[in-house]
A = this chain, B = another copy of it.
Amino acid sequence: MATATLSKDMLEAHPDPAQLDRDALARCIDECLACAGSCISCADADLAEEEVADLRRCIRLCLDCADVCDATRNVLSRQTEYVAELARAQVSACRESCAACAEECEGHADHHEHCRICADQCRRCEEACSAVLEAIG
């Protein structure tokens, strides 16, 4: 499995793709996939930490970010009858959510490797969202 290749290949195989920068799109779909995964895992790892009470905000933001990334992945993956306003609004929400989650995870990165990994992934997804928003215009 190599999701990076898979998403790009699926976009290439579409009979009627949206007129959008395909590299930016494939990258954002892949980062959303990865970010949903890292956020689900980070929330669960937080929950098992001794100081779980200090990680409430991290858990909440990770859960939100996973949900928002999943929705964004689906909206961006669909090429048929693309609607720019909808894509723009959902990707904006995703950028917001990744930024908030990254900031929170960064505050725990020195103590928890899962927060360090998750913060990095959220920042990558945030950047990929910005690039897609630029492509949407």
Contacts and interface: CB of A to CB of B under 8 A. Distances in A.
A90 B45 CA distance: 21
Contacts of A56: 47-48, 52, 80-81
A23 interface: no
A80 B57 CA distance: 7
Interface string A99-137: 010000000000011100110010010000000000000
Interface residues of A, number: 70
B30 A10 contact: no
A85 B100 contact: yes
A100 B85 CA distance: 9
A96 B86 contact: yes
